[in-house]
Structure 1
Amino acid sequence: MRKLFLLGVSLAFSFNLWAQGISGATTGLQKMPGYLNLYWDAKKGKMYLEIDKLDTEILFHTALPAGIGSNDIGLDRGKISAGKIIKFQRSGPKVLMVEQNYGYRATSGDKMEMRAVEQSFAQSVLWGFDVMAEEGKSVLVDATNFYLRDGYEAASAIARAKQGVFRLDPSRCAFYLPYTKNFPENTEVEVTLTLTGEQAGPFLREVVPTPNAITIREHYSFIKLPDAGYQPREFDPRAGINSIEFFDYSSPFSTPIAKRYIRRHRLQKKNPNAAVSEPIKPIVYYMDPGAPEPIRSALMDGISWWNQAYEAAGFKNAFQVKVLPDTADPMDIRYNLVQWVHRSTRGWSYGFSVADPRTGEIIKGKVTLGSLRVRQDYLIANGLVGEYEGDKPSKEAEEMALARLRQLGAHETGHTLGLPHNYASNQNDRASVMDYPHPLVRIMGQNKLSLSDAYTKQIGDWDKIAINYAYREFKNKEEEKKGLKKIIDDYIDKGFLFLSDQDGRPEGSAHPITHLWDNGKNSVEELNRVMQVRRIALSNFSEKKIPVGAPMATLEEALVPLYLFHRYQVEAASKVVGGVFYTYAVRGDKQKVMEYVSGAEQRQALDALMATLKPEELVLPANIIKLIPPRPYGFNENYREVFKDRTGLTFDPLAPAEAAAGMTLRFVLQHERAARLIGNHAIDSSLPDFSEVVDKVVETTWKSAPQAGYAGEVQRVVNGAVLDQLIQLAANKDAANQVRAVATLKLQELKAWLGKATTSDGNQKAQYQFALAQIQQFESSPETVVITPPSKEPDGAPIGSFDAYSCEW
């Protein structure tokens, strides 16, 4: 009876609201007028939504305004989900929130053709609302449950990171009113959510005060879509501009069904006939005033470089940077924002865009910059050239860190303007801020380094090309087609190249000039030069790399980036081995399609890589080892930033060598590279095959003359790493059969050599016997071979920019 009574009361309440209309039903509630009116019932903790735009396309976003603070989990402050186009559709007493399927369209304008496509592919109903009241063409719905949910799917992200199983606890969730606001073109609602679970992983325990209760904030946006005045521009893979993609079923069957538009802001000249004109409405980016000085000014300086590119594309004062004024709200969709974000560890920075999925028009750019990266840049700079005088920092190191921030601000803003990464810009002398730049360290005399030219100080020539393609205005479609073709033809004639993430990121990638964090046109020559820089930096290393009063043990954090200063150039040079040069060529252009890197270049690269394995390069100067004691009380081991030792409390003098050798060998003996060596050699016998590469590795390490003392132990560490890599490669189920066959053969050949090797050194003899036992165990029972996990190098990336295939939505 009690349940029936309560149901009756509820139905009566709903009927009364309906009968009163929206104005009557919301009497006494706090109204938040805007794009979609909100009504807040403070007594009941309910949020009502007035929908006066039924059957109207609206852009919907979820975001994470207050995250977890762990780069590894990825739930960072300021992240935005992919945008969805939705419609509110009414059916009797219900309103359905329906996501439109814009991946499949007919652009002909024929209604029957469009209806056929729409009915062929599913849509998604994201939520169902009950109508509480109505007035004219508007309806009022209770949106409380819609908002108080894990719409960003944070719990799933935690599970994917293997940090535990968590679920929403409704009793610990509420609306966050300070950031629940309404604007003329967007409606914003924010909620505080608490996820509960057990057995939280280490990344959570590191950043959450009570790891079984994770409280974050999630944000929901309904955004007005742009009007029809924007003209989409067709995508070209050579142009260096991000794109949207869809299937157009109104395409003639003799033409591609997949269509792509570039992503860009709307920008129009006041005077279309002028070669250079001010815009009708400039692109303005607003800087988070929470970024401190001198960081804020450095970032604004770097971001403002983009105006150089817009001037080259025919616009005057089209791109501007300002500090966000007190009267502006960063949540307002009309403001492009640069946000300064804190985490517990250094992490990636991002450039996101809120864009119209129908056309690619960027509505709002949002840059998220991690605050700890600049500290790592300063650490690297100070290790290279700086010395503390007492506790006063190095001015040269500070200047390099600020120079890096300028480049970083330009880079991430470039993503929000529509540009992806260009990892081939070194071919044209650092031609793009959309590359990942390694500091360029000049050698000045025998034992001196300079950072005066560590980073570029202006926008790059490639960036001007990309902005010109995306934003230059043309009088009509015919002129646009000719003009865009000319932009690409001209840059090809000048020798520019665009290659992006899929070409530069994988460890087994093949392109000889497409790398992250490298310098120079020739990666092999630059590796040899970087090794010289590294030798000078290590010879200058002293206690002055930390301020007076800092524990001596913290010198290890300063040592790591110096010792591994060659890490990215090793990766770059490894791509020459088995390398294949190619472009994003299209039929009819003048670009070289594909060719193998010559055998001479590959062998030069292999020689340079093998030089990084020599004991004389890997041993640490004795004075450095004696400077680093065990960690003092209160300074727990900083495992992310130091070498993984095997000596307990004391600094392990062999751990750096193990990490560096493992790094080189991991790239050289990568299974896809090995397969490419075999295939390329089969087509062109002048190229090295995989067997030759393995022989070179073994000759350089196991078969080189044994050394004594510290150098001898380093040599044995390297030898052990070679054996481990070969065993793992022979057992790798992802490797090609012939790769595994060659690795197995080389193990047998090494076994035969070990059986004949003689030595009077007891430590050397022990390694020979142990290696023989491992190979024999692998031959008889591969699955039972126990390989000591390698001491991997500490994290290098993130070194300041986004790493995935595009950070834009």
Structure 2
Amino acid sequence: MHSDSEPRRVTTRRRAGVPLALGAAVWLAGCAGLPQATGGRPTAAGAGTPMARAATAGTPAPSATTPAASAATAPSAAAPRSDPAPLRPFADVVRDAQRIDGFVPLWRRDERVWLEIAPERLNQPLLLSVNVASSVGERGLYAGQMGPVWLVEFRRVGNTLQLVARNTRFRADGDPALRRAVAQGFSESLIAYGAVASAAHPQRQSFLVDAAFLLSDLAGYATALERAFRIPYALDRGNSSFESVRADARVAVLHAKLHYATPRIPAPPASPAPGAVLPTPPSTTPDARSLFVGAVVSLMALPAQPMRPRAADPRVGHFTTTYSDFSRDLAADARVRLVNRWRLEKKDPAAPLSEPVQPIVFWIDRNVPPRYRGAVTDGVLEWNKAFERIGFRDAIVVRQQPDDAAFDTMDGAHASIRWLLGIDAGFARGPSHADPRTGEILDGDITITDAFGRGARRIFVEQVGGASSASGSDERLASLATQWQGAGASQACTYLLDAAADLHFALDLLEARGDVAPDGPEAEAFVRAVIKDVVTHEVGHVLGLTHNFRASSAVAHALLRDAAHTRAHGISASVMDYNPINLPLAGEPMAALVQGGLGAYDHWAIEYAYAPLSEADEQAALEAIAARGRDDPALAFGDDIDAAGLDPRVNRFDLGDDALAFVERRIALTHELWQRTQQRGWQPGDDPLRLRRTLLAGFRQLRELPALAAKHVGGMYAERDRPGDGRPAFRPVEPQRQRQALALLTDTLFRVDSFRFKPEFLASLPPDYAEFGAGRGGPVSIPQAVLQLQTSALDRLLDPGTAQRLLELPLYLPESERSTALSLHEVYATVQRAVWRELATGGEIDRLRRDLQREHLRRLQAALTRPLGLPSDALSLQRLLATELQRDLQRAVGRAAGLSVETRAHLADSLALLGEALRASFVRQQ
């Protein structure tokens, strides 16, 4: 738990600026961590890290016009030799330095920092974490991100201090012999090392180590920079320094300002090869060759008494600490999975409701805008309702960091919520660090991007994705959320990105209806409610809960229109789902728009992880808690992998127990917004880009709908029950539901009447002429936007995995029901008829339909000529239908004399391409 005290802290003097044009000797010394004779820099015998450890003797110096950069990017071949000279007395090394007492005492004199290592600190476990307090602000490299964490120990080898990461993934806790075998079979890792700087203290027997060995690329940020910009940045130690240090009884914290640089920006090739990855220098720094990253290095004491671990259960969604225990040689599975959770103990164990011994403290960082702090606080404290049900009063406490606070909330001793700015940032994250021995969460830092303001819509349509792209830029933003593989990369969360985009769509529609004034109190309250919802979601992650993308299906579709029910119970069974805004159709009553609080699943998941249980009763009690999910639909659980799987009830951003009805409603809402926008047009005082953004926001709403519907075709319901609990693990989606989904796609998305816009409306959508380059764009391409929706459906319906499931579904049905199953031939034939319906009538084929037909033909060609992963029966059916399509095209070409030249050319070209594919397929088969 976190103390609210403010420990001692010493702020360092920033060293005088060093010119970028450095001499070769100074540059080499700075980047290699060698002794320097300039500027009084501290000497470090080693700067070892997995990413930057070796000296770079023989490396040419940079030119006088480029920044100094470290070339140390590979592990060193050998540890540094200890200095044969006698070590200096302790007092001489730290003369005139200030001591900061704590878990690992620190000494500070001007720019120099030393660690004082007591004998009892050697060979004992502690937690090392590296978080990023400041960064570049683009391409996934943002401030406020938690970095890697290791269980480490100090080891002294001669006069070298090693910081060694223990291997916690493989253990043999119950068998001394196997413990030795594990140690021999799986290596540890050397994180960093430095030279011992002093003889032992006469009384304490402790010794000093120059902390400069921690001015290294501990977090592997050089690789992240190269991945983002395709430029080999390296750490420049000579221009890196400690800004401040502090220590208390629990943690020692060093705030490092790390300089990364490259001698030059590579010129792109004059004629780049197709698909070549080109260097793309950062756009946010004054000079692309040089940038600073603020790293917060924390050395944290582990709890003296390890928390009693709690076994995880796959029926409930928690992040876990997982390892293989080789002493469990008689168990079917050697892997052990422990629930990640904070330590909560009652002050009065006998009381039905008691305060905890130590609450979970969340600090709101001073960089959170004051206007949002109330909503953030409400989102955090919402979880106290779940803890009260299991006997804890005020289990969570919120504190505001003062503007003059002497600590950074990114250190290892403060769970925090911070605001994040970046030119392309559109996400929130809630990662945490846990004790690898027990799963006890010790730290968590939530970052929230400023994506709720009206101006933030530029993120979604101009500055990132390009104004001409009607599909938006969410895929890129989602990938940026995990660009740097630091801590919590597996906990990536794009809920804020989707929630903010959904908020903007909802505000546009409600304003167009006249229900909400753009700057009125209703709009402000709406924004705050969405912020609270996002914060509650991210705090759930820090408490140890994973996503639950099945929760929204627990609410009956009709109840979503019931204002009383939704305000009392929410619109979903969990805040850990990605819940869209519950917008009514035109003329319907207004129910609750957002989730508003915890759902039944959230209370259940907290109970499993945190309910006070005696050691003797814990196993039986946990089994009873988890078993309740079998009979209560509100406790159904499905995680990120399930959302990408075959159960149509597990989705991101759907509502209610009828996903197909949700798809139909969202299509209707989008068309309503487009219609109202075209009728209103642009009015004096409007943002010049308002109409363009509204059009693109509608296409973004439609983007996920094809996959939601197509997931039913070949879909199977999956249950997480234990075998013998009474329900099958897999059950095919009802045939009528599969056919309904297929018809929804082919009769809605494949028809183009819904995507007709007034010419004068399209002509009134200017780009942002104040932006230069890719952000400016040209006219919005309606054909491109429509085609992206259609190809999303095609890809899912024609996917080899869908084909495999459709061929196998009859095996899961009783003999009497197999004749009613949706067959693969029915799917292929329905899609082909819908795509090529003009061939039956001999009518004109417009531009949007020709594009769809070409995409279908490309997939048919690929299936015939490169059938990778396609089942044999599926290939045979594709060839049969391709032959039928060839005959239909031949007839259409023969009677196309009266059609436009574009249609005639399209038919002839399609026939030729299909003929080539069939001939190639025949030759391949021979």
- Verify: 1:770 aligned to 2:913, yes or no: no
Alignment partner of 1:775: what SS? helix
Pick closer, same or farther for the CA change 1:205–1:587 going to 2, 3 Å: same
- Verify: 1:481 aligned to 2:619, yes or no: yes
Give, in angstroms, the shift of residue 524 of structure 1: 1.3
TM-score (norm 1): 0.86
- Verify: 1:235 aligned to 2:312, yes or no: yes
Q: 1:665 aligns with which of 794, 808, 816?
A: 794
Pick closer, same or farther for the CA change 1:409–1:764 going to 2, 3 Å: same
Contact 1:615 1:714 survives alignment (8 Å): no
Contact 1:50 1:141 survives alignment (8 Å): yes
Q: Distance in 2 between matches of 1:578 and 1:352?
A: 35
Q: Which residue of 1 aligns with 2:124?
A: 56
Contact 1:552 1:628 survives alignment (8 Å): no
Give, in angstroms, the shift of residue 598 of structure 1: 2.0
- Verify: 1:628 aligned to 2:764, yes or no: yes
Q: Which residue of 1 aligns with 2:382?
A: 305
- Verify: 1:127 aligned to 2:192, yes or no: yes
Q: Distance in 2 between matches of 1:599 and 1:624?
A: 45
Give, in angstroms, the shift of residue 366 of structure 1: 1.2
Q: 1:335 aligns with which of 414, 418, 439?
A: 414
Give, in angstroms, the shift of residue 723 of structure 1: 2.2
Which residue identity lines up with residue 140 of structure 1 in the other structure? L
Pick closer, same or farther for the CA change 1:332–1:149 going to 2, 3 Å: closer
- Verify: 1:654 aligned to 2:733, yes or no: no
Alignment partner of 1:225: what SS? coil
Which residue identity lines up with residue 571 of structure 1 in the other structure? A
Which residue identity lines up with residue 553 of structure 2 in the other structure? Q
- The more displaced of 553-562 and 334-343 is 553-562
Q: 1:574 aligns with which of 705, 710, 713?
A: 710
> Identity percentage over the alignment?
25
Alignment partner of 1:386: what SS? helix
Which residue identity lines up with residue 414 of structure 1 in the other structure? G
**1:223-275 Cα distance to aligned partner (Å, 9 max, x none):** 11112151111111112211111112222514532111100000011221223
Give, in angstroms, the shift of residue 576 of structure 1: 0.9
1:7-86 to structure 2, matched below 5 A, reads: 18-21=87-90, 23-42=91-110, 45-52=111-118, 53-70=121-138, 73-86=139-152
- The more displaced of 299-308 and 196-205 is 196-205
Which residue identity lines up with residue 313 of structure 1 in the other structure? I
Pick closer, same or farther for the CA change 1:19–1:548 going to 2, 3 Å: same
Contact 1:104 1:248 survives alignment (8 Å): yes
Q: Which residue of 1 aligns with 2:531?
A: 405
Give, in angstroms, the shift of residue 181 of structure 1: 2.9
1:83-482 to structure 2, matched below 5 A, reads: 83-108=149-174, 111-133=176-198, 134-135=200-201, 136-144=204-212, 146-161=213-228, 163-170=229-236, 173-178=239-244, 180-189=245-254, 190-196=256-262, 198-199=265-266, 204-251=281-328, 253-325=330-402, 326-327=404-405, 329=407, 330-372=409-451, 375-376=456-457, 377=500, 378-387=503-512, 393=519, 396-429=522-555, 430-445=572-587, 453-474=592-613, 476-482=614-620
Pick closer, same or farther for the CA change 1:34–1:746 going to 2, 3 Å: farther
Q: Distance in 1 between matches of 2:132 and 2:684?
A: 40
Q: Distance in 2 between matches of 1:601 and 1:388?
A: 33
**1:624-655 Cα distance to aligned partner (Å, 9 max, x none):** 7345344253244775xx9xxxxx84333423
Q: Distance in 2 between matches of 1:96 and 1:526?
A: 58
Contact 1:352 1:367 survives alignment (8 Å): yes
Q: Distance in 2 between matches of 1:712 and 1:198?
A: 47
Which residue identity lines up with residue 741 of structure 2 in the other structure? A
- The more displaced of 667-676 and 492-501 is 667-676
Q: Distance in 2 between matches of 1:478 and 1:14?
A: 56
Give, in angstroms, the shift of residue 514 of structure 1: 0.5
Contact 1:195 1:213 survives alignment (8 Å): yes
Q: Distance in 2 between matches of 1:305 and 1:154?
A: 35
Q: Distance in 1 between matches of 2:868 and 2:261?
A: 38
Which residue identity lines up with residue 232 of structure 2 in the other structure? F
Pick closer, same or farther for the CA change 1:301–1:709 going to 2, 3 Å: farther
Give, in angstroms, the shift of residue 331 of structure 1: 4.0
Give, in angstroms, the shift of residue 660 of structure 1: 2.1
Alignment partner of 1:612: what SS? helix
Q: Which residue of 2 aligns with 1:803?
A: none
Pick closer, same or farther for the CA change 1:116–1:709 going to 2, 3 Å: same
Give, in angstroms, the shift of residue 438 of structure 1: 1.5
- The more displaced of 701-710 and 191-200 is 701-710
Which residue identity lines up with residue 505 of structure 2 in the other structure? I
What stretches of structure 1 of length at least 5 have no aligned partner?
643-647, 783-809
Contact 2:844 2:899 survives alignment (8 Å): no
Give, in angstroms, the shift of residue 84 of structure 1: 0.9
Q: Distance in 2 between matches of 1:204 and 1:745?
A: 51
Pick closer, same or farther for the CA change 1:552–1:129 going to 2, 3 Å: closer
Which residue identity lines up with residue 69 of structure 1 in the other structure? G
Q: Distance in 2 between matches of 1:292 and 1:169?
A: 33
- The more displaced of 560-569 and 494-503 is 560-569
**1:728-787 Cα distance to aligned partner (Å, 9 max, x none):** 4555565334345544544343222211113322132222122223323445669xxxxx
Q: Distance in 1 between matches of 2:800 and 2:354?
A: 54
Give, in angstroms, the shift of residue 281 of structure 1: 1.5
- The more displaced of 356-365 and 685-694 is 685-694
Give, in angstroms, the shift of residue 120 of structure 1: 3.5
Give, in angstroms, the shift of residue 557 of structure 1: 1.9
Alignment partner of 1:409: what SS? helix
Q: Distance in 2 between matches of 1:341 and 1:120?
A: 42
Q: 1:752 aligns with which of 864, 887, 897?
A: 887
Q: 1:592 aligns with which of 728, 734, 751?
A: 728
Contact 2:511 2:517 survives alignment (8 Å): no
Alignment partner of 1:170: what SS? strand
Contact 1:538 1:563 survives alignment (8 Å): no
- The more displaced of 772-781 and 387-396 is 387-396
Contact 1:313 1:464 survives alignment (8 Å): no
Q: Distance in 2 between matches of 1:466 and 1:383?
A: 36
For these two proteins, the number of residue pairs brought into alignment is 755
Q: Distance in 2 between matches of 1:770 and 1:137?
A: 86
Contact 2:222 2:235 survives alignment (8 Å): no
Give, in angstroms, the shift of residue 449 of structure 1: 8.6
Contact 2:127 2:150 survives alignment (8 Å): yes
Q: Distance in 2 between matches of 1:372 and 1:202?
A: 28
TM-score (norm 2): 0.75
Pick closer, same or farther for the CA change 1:490–1:267 going to 2, 3 Å: same
Contact 1:616 1:711 survives alignment (8 Å): no
Pick closer, same or farther for the CA change 1:588–1:268 going to 2, 3 Å: farther
Give, in angstroms, the shift of residue 137 of structure 1: 3.4
Pick closer, same or farther for the CA change 1:347–1:484 going to 2, 3 Å: same
**1:405-437 Cα distance to aligned partner (Å, 9 max, x none):** 111101111000000000000122211111111
